[in-house]
Amino acid sequence: MITYSAPGRVNLIGEHTDYNGGFALPIALPQRTHVTFTPDDADTLTVLSDRADTPVTIALDTSPGRIHGWGAYVAGVVWALRDSGFAVPGGSMTISSDVPIGSGLSSSAALECAVLGALSTAAGLQLDRIDQARIGQRAENDYVGAPTGLLDQLSSLFGEVSHALLIDFRDVTVHPTPFDPDASGVTLLLLDSGQRHGHVDGEYAARRASCERAAAEMGVASLRDVQHRGVEALSALHDPVDARRARHVLTENDRVLDFVAACAELDFAAAGALFNSSHASMRDDFEITTEHIDLIADSAVAAGALGARMTGGGFGGCVIALVPTQLTLKVGDAVRAAVTDAGYAEPEVSRVYAAAGAG
């Protein structure tokens, strides 16, 4: 019997930078998805999850379109492994998880990475973590049909206790960097709005197209190629909306690197200020926040947070805040009160920290 688990993730800073060849800085979360796998000689894999009512049976020669719903994430991993030339055994698998589903904390990558780890351990495969991330991404893109980048899988696979992961999407490298606010009396609070936007895909595609147009107009393949020139490079752009979208990307990349430096120096006041400027950039330049999300971030700061920002693709999801530890209850209460007074559902407030990656 093989047991394997993989965590969810939250991105500390660096939003909508991945598809622009930029920087992001996620941490792996303490919440994990656990897989128990008993291989046998069958040509099927039967999977049961404590988050789903009925088991799913997957033929080992499955292909995209054959399985829908949550089982597609598991079937996608089986398919992507076999399609990459790796034989995997059948058997029975049980899954349990405390990663919130659909909150933007990447329960999907936690599931893919845990299943992938269990299957490749059983098959005796030695895949490096970048290759594992690409297999998880293929499962999600080509089998499930969700057009997502590599950030989620890289975070789940490379996570380290007390470290954030500086990902450079230009060459797809991952550099662990110190992130331990608790040791300095600062807590990372996660405030889940519960808000889920229905039109995220279209908004995402529009932002992506703006960035691509801006890069093309400046004669480069990716916005990363003008990063060294700073925002002055954007004065050549004709469309003011594209220019603002691109300005978010360039300034956000700088904030990621500044945030890494602030955390290494244990300067969490500076780190908090970078959360605030990142949030303002997502609100004003990239226009991906909502009034509900802005209220959560603003009320956290008003109650004493060092800084707060939306995390994830936008239009809902979670806010993260760096809060002096003695103020965490006060900040949580103040945000709940402000949000419910405005007529929104009460947010879920929890304390999170950088935890270990898949294993």
Does the annotation count 152 as an active-site position? yes
> Is 159 one of the binding residues for ligand ADP (CB under 6 A)?
no
The reply on whether position 33 binds ligand ADP by CB under 6 A is yes
CB 214 within 8 A of CB 234: yes
51 lines the binding site for ligand ADP (CB under 6 A) = yes
In the bound state with ligand ADP, the residue whose beta carbon lies nearer, of 6 and 215, is 6
20 or 108: CB nearest Mg ion? 108
Using CB under 6 A, which of 31, 49, 120, 227 touches ligand ADP? 49
344 part of the interface to ligand ADP, by CB under 6 A? no
Per CB under 6 A, the segment of 101-109, 124-132, 203-211, 324-332 that binds ligand ADP is 101-109
Alpha carbon of 166 to those of 1, 10, 62: distances in Å? 34, 13, 35
Alpha carbons 289 and 158: distance in angstroms, whole number = 28
The least distance separating ligand ADP from the CB of residue 147, rounded to whole angstroms, comes to 11
Q: What is the DSSP letter of 1?
A: -
**Judged by CB, which is closer to Mg ion: 146, or 261?**
146
Name residues whose C-beta falls within 8 Å of residue 148's C-beta, 6 or more positions apart in sequence.
Answer: 108, 137, 140, 141
By CB under 6 A, what part of segment 57-86 binds ligand ADP? 70, 73
Q: Which partner, ligand ADP, Mg ion, none, binds residue 111 by CB below 5 to 8 Å per kind?
A: ligand ADP
Exactly one of 18, 152, 192, 242 is catalytic; name it.
152
To 5 degrees, how large is the angle CA 346–CA 351–CA 354? 135
Q: Comparing C-alpha atoms, which of 277, 340, 276 is closest to residue 302? A: 276
**What is the rounded CA–CA span in Å between residue 328 and residue 350?**
10
21 interacts with ligand ADP by CB under 6 A = no
With CA atoms as reference, report the closest residue to 290 among 256, 255, 315: 315
CA distance 326 to 49: 38
Q: Is 97 in the site for ligand ADP (CB under 6 A)?
A: yes
Residues contributing to the site for ligand ADP (CB under 6 A): 33, 49, 51-52, 70, 73, 95, 97, 101-108, 111
The residues annotated with a catalytic role in the active site are 152
